Structure 1
Amino acid sequence: MRFSGSAAAFAITTCLAAVLASPALAAEAHELPGAAMGLIWALPFAGLLLSIATGPLLYPHFWEHHYGKIAAFWAALVVVPMAFFFGFDTALVSVLHTVLLEYLSFIILLFALFTISGGILVAGNIHGTPATNALLLLIGALLASVVGTTGASMIMIRPMIRANDNRPFNAHVVVFFIFLVSNIGGSLTPLGDPPLFVGFLRGVDFFWTTQHLLTETLFVGAVVLAVFFALDLWFHRREEGQPKIKDPTPDSKIRIRGLPNLPLLAGVIGAILLSATWRPGISLDVFGVHVELQNLVRDAIIVVLALVSLAISRKEYRQANGFNWGPILEVAKLFAAIFVCIIPVIAILKAGMDGALAPLVALVSGPDGAPNDLAYFWMTGALSSFLDNAPTYLVFFELAGGNPQHLMTTLATTLTAISTGAVFMGANTYIGNAPNFMVYAIARERGVAMPSFFGYMLWSGAVLIPTFLIAGWLFF
């Protein structure tokens, strides 16, 4: 997603991610007749995604001031016909079901990770040698599965740029940062990337992701990091014969500021694990929607931790990180529209071969009806490259049956293919994952000569696509 700067990028990803999970539940609860619904019901969803993908690049000023109205327009094209054809109550309760069970939990988690990580500052500077850069990328990639790809990108991108701001060739450093920190590194927990948290909200166990994506993540991450090191070494040697550039940020001791935020991040993880293991069997009924106690407690704890971070973090640390509330505000607005627009799409997908999206179902199934894991990997990845990976994940999650227990066991390889495709291939373009464009905008602001949209795709085509071809052959 490409909004205006960091706010834009972050907003989009998040937005897409949460949305997708909830509408699916709404469709289940109210039994929308997916088999009888034509593709016209999917047009608002496609229109919204297209608007999100093109607005920040083609008409950025108009988008910045009117994206909320545009999102509301597409949502209205779903709500009004849905109320007319299926009844006001069905439309209303479907939206409530989505908001109460998925949207609020998702936005609360993102708000907390965004707020807490924004209070952590990596101060100081070191010289960006190939070995140092590789180490920083490795640290950022590992951090991404703990504080999310957006949080890790916010914390690490400025130190990465400072370390290399006296080098004539440094754009490739930011490109590989997007590959590893803003995408691939977020594969090991539901906290890492929005699609995986969508899966968690749909019933995938918290540590299932770590267990089943570890081998694929280590392989892809190691290959990409090795390519980076070789390339950066080559650039570094070329630079030795060129005129020296005065370092605008001389080397100084590295210090981590805002350390009290680290136990708060641990508290967020603990709250999520609590909701996954503590099942008191108590729920609150809101207009027929049952909100379980463990989820209410989890969300309340996470909100408190975020507020504590705001209270104890020093303002100068947040200012140095470029922290502002724009991304979360955009996420909140776009989320609402996507949640609504995805409801009929999920209903159609649930109809399987009887629905209007039967050709899509056929593409990811073998002659005997069994899932084609390699097709799931590449199709999820291809769409994640352009449409944002969270909604794409949910679409293929539903195509694979949508039953988390079945997907975690009998179809574990299929769910692994969907998960890795969504997370890994969000790196193929600037718009595949929210942090991508955020990092791009920060780098350009700091004077890095970043490649264009298609120039970036030349990088991903040369490095990532061959790596994914090998990974698909090895694992799927």
Structure 2
Amino acid sequence: MAVLALGGLAASPAFAAEALPGAHMSLWWALPFAGLLLCIATGPLLFHHFWEHHYGKIAAVWAGLVIVPLAAFYGLAAASEAVLHAMLLEYMSFIILLFALFTISGGILVSGNIHGTPLFNSGLLLIGAILASVIGTTGASMILIRPIIRANDNRPFNAHVVVFFIFLVSNIGGSLTPLGDPPLFVGFLRGVDFFWTTVHLLPDTLLVGGLVLAIFFVLDTILHRREQGLPKIKDPTPDSKVRILGLVNLPLLAGVIGAILMSAAWKPGVEFTIQGVHVELQNLVRDVIILVLAFVSLVVSPKKYRSANGFNWGPILEVAKLFAAIFVCIVPVVAILRAGMDGALAPLVSLVTTASGQPNDMAYFWMTGLLSSFLDNAPTYLVFFELAGGNPQELMTTFATTLAAISAGAVFMGANTYIGNAPNFMVYAIARNQGIRMPGFFGYMLWSGAVLLPIFALSSVIFFG
């Protein structure tokens, strides 16, 4: 998920799932989540017109299939506390941040005709990956996705550019600081030093990111040459000088990051209780500041810049509706996962410990990563952080490779699916909205499986084997 979609989540280490007896819940509780994922995967392909007009209702039905049984089996109080915790402390902060970054970045226009050559595309992906650790994967993705789409809008083959953009800018690039990706910010709030990830994940990030970028350059070069023999497509973007407009939004982006850091550093000890859910003052202030910055951007940014960006509310509405259901549907799944060896997922949890009782670093990497591909990667990170002992001083020293494995798995493998990290689906929605023929849910997983999984396997052997 994005720079700090974890604002409310990380500020309060308890999860919604804690109100539920995860040790006594069977895997049947995961069915609504699986059904929702299946609909997201197949809806745009098998019943596109119906899905386009009714995806919000479909998502609401799956969410209802979690809420109603939870209330029936565990009581209205426990069910409402779990769901309200997910919505008030996790989802609201998540969607407010995405809304702000989507809105503010939509007012930044890279004008002019940038021609998407393999060298230029590779350079922009590299810049975006570096930027992701500074302003977060969501911030970097929202600023750069429209320019890279515009640069390649006259190419017959351009969907792969967006796919690799998701790999590098929306995920892998955010691995070097707590500002880059929510799991790392969770670790920072739990006591992991700010630059610990920079030092310990840099070699892994350089290897994984470098190999992915190299594969992209080779593939883009091959496709670019193949395009030379195809009929020319008229470039919809007229040739003109390249300029960056709407720079007034840059301080607003900085303000968003500042608000997040403020909520992590300022602890006034004031909170409000809503149906058993404790909402802390610093989180309310943060979310209000972020919303104000978004509305300031709408006022101060010329409408012509947004129009030139092809800006509309469709993508953020789609993300808001679908992820509201996702956040509800993962509540029982996370409850089971948090039960550890006492829960229905005990066979998976047992894989991370060797027979001698020592942590299995490679298993930590793969288990954290594979679950982060489908669940919220911040809660997944924290669950395995706790399974590894939960002591930040020990994890940064004696068990440094274990913490590195958990961190790398959570960040890197968010790229495995469209829902592994918040900006993935946002980028997908924007690209599809602007006419890019993006692969579907399973089609994207074929890309990630072919490109990323072999690289992750090599990385895990080198660094965690």
Task: Please indicate the TM-score interval, normalised by the length of the shorter structure.
Answer: 0.7 to 0.9
When residues 45 and 412 of structure 1 are mapped into structure 2, their CA distance, relative to the original with a 3 A threshold, is farther
Aligned residue among 144, 158, 175 for 1:187? 175
Task: Tell me, in whole angstroms, the C-alpha distance in 2 between the residues paired with 1:371 and 1:99.
Answer: 34
Aligned residue among 367, 371, 380 for 2:359? 371
Q: Which amino acid aligns with 1:398?
A: V
Question: Percent of pairs identical after alignment?
Answer: 74
Quote the residue 2:86 is aligned against: 98
Quote the residue 1:70 is aligned against: 58
- Contact kept in structure 2, 1:19 and 1:342, CA below 8 Å: no
Q: Alignment partner of 2:344: what SS? A: coil
Q: Which amino acid aligns with 2:303?
A: K
Quote the residue 1:51 is aligned against: 39
Give the 5 Å matches for 1:248-327. Answer: 249=237, 251-327=239-315
- Contact kept in structure 2, 1:113 and 1:147, CA below 8 Å: no
Task: Tell me, in whole angstroms, the C-alpha distance in 2 between the residues paired with 1:108 and 1:91.
Answer: 24
Task: Tell me, in whole angstroms, the C-alpha distance in 2 between the residues paired with 1:430 and 1:102.
Answer: 19
Quote the residue 1:354 is aligned against: 342
When residues 251 and 414 of structure 1 are mapped into structure 2, their CA distance, relative to the original with a 3 A threshold, is farther
Quick check: 1:25 aligned with 2:10? no
Q: Alignment partner of 1:253: what SS? A: coil
Quote the residue 2:111 is aligned against: 123
Aligned residue among 94, 112, 117 for 2:100? 112
Task: Tell me, in whole angstroms, the C-alpha distance in 2 between the residues paired with 1:415 and 1:85.
Answer: 37
Task: Tell me, in whole angstroms, the C-alpha distance in 2 between the residues paired with 1:44 and 1:241.
Answer: 48
RMSD of the TM alignment (CA)?
3.8
Q: Which has the higher contact order (CA 8 A, sep 6+)?
A: 1
Structure 2 residues without counterparts, runs of 5 or longer: none
Deviation sequence 1:150-169 (CA, Å, 0-9, x none): 44344333433444456676
- Contact kept in structure 1, 2:8 and 2:283, CA below 8 Å: no
- Contact kept in structure 2, 1:376 and 1:396, CA below 8 Å: no
When residues 308 and 469 of structure 1 are mapped into structure 2, their CA distance, relative to the original with a 3 A threshold, is same
When residues 419 and 61 of structure 1 are mapped into structure 2, their CA distance, relative to the original with a 3 A threshold, is farther
- Contact kept in structure 2, 1:44 and 1:74, CA below 8 Å: yes
- Contact kept in structure 2, 1:19 and 1:336, CA below 8 Å: no
Q: Quote the offset at 1:412 in angstroms.
A: 4.9
Structure 1 residues without counterparts, runs of 5 or longer: 1-9
Deviation sequence 1:155-200 (CA, Å, 0-9, x none): 3334334444566765554443333223322334455446556767
Task: Tell me, in whole angstroms, the C-alpha distance in 1 between the residues paired with 2:330 and 2:442.
Answer: 29
Quote the residue 2:122 is aligned against: 134
Task: Tell me, in whole angstroms, the C-alpha distance in 2 between the residues paired with 1:205 and 1:294.
Answer: 22
Deviation sequence 1:378-429 (CA, Å, 0-9, x none): 23434555x3xx5255346324526995367525544433332243234345
Aligned residue among 386, 398, 402 for 2:383? 398
Deviation sequence 1:341-366 (CA, Å, 0-9, x none): 22222222222212211111123332
Q: Quote the offset at 1:453 in angstroms.
A: 6.9
- Contact kept in structure 2, 1:19 and 1:391, CA below 8 Å: no
- Contact kept in structure 2, 1:141 and 1:184, CA below 8 Å: yes
- Contact kept in structure 1, 2:6 and 2:93, CA below 8 Å: no
TM-score, normalized by length of structure 2? 0.82
Count of residues paired in the alignment: 459
Q: Quote the offset at 1:34 in angstroms.
A: 2.2
TM-score, normalized by length of structure 1? 0.81
Q: Which amino acid aligns with 1:465?
A: L
Task: Tell me, in whole angstroms, the C-alpha distance in 2 between the residues paired with 1:283 and 1:404.
Answer: 29
- Contact kept in structure 2, 1:20 and 1:391, CA below 8 Å: no
Quote the residue 1:334 is aligned against: 322
Task: Tell me, in whole angstroms, the C-alpha distance in 2 between the residues paired with 1:327 and 1:169.
Answer: 23
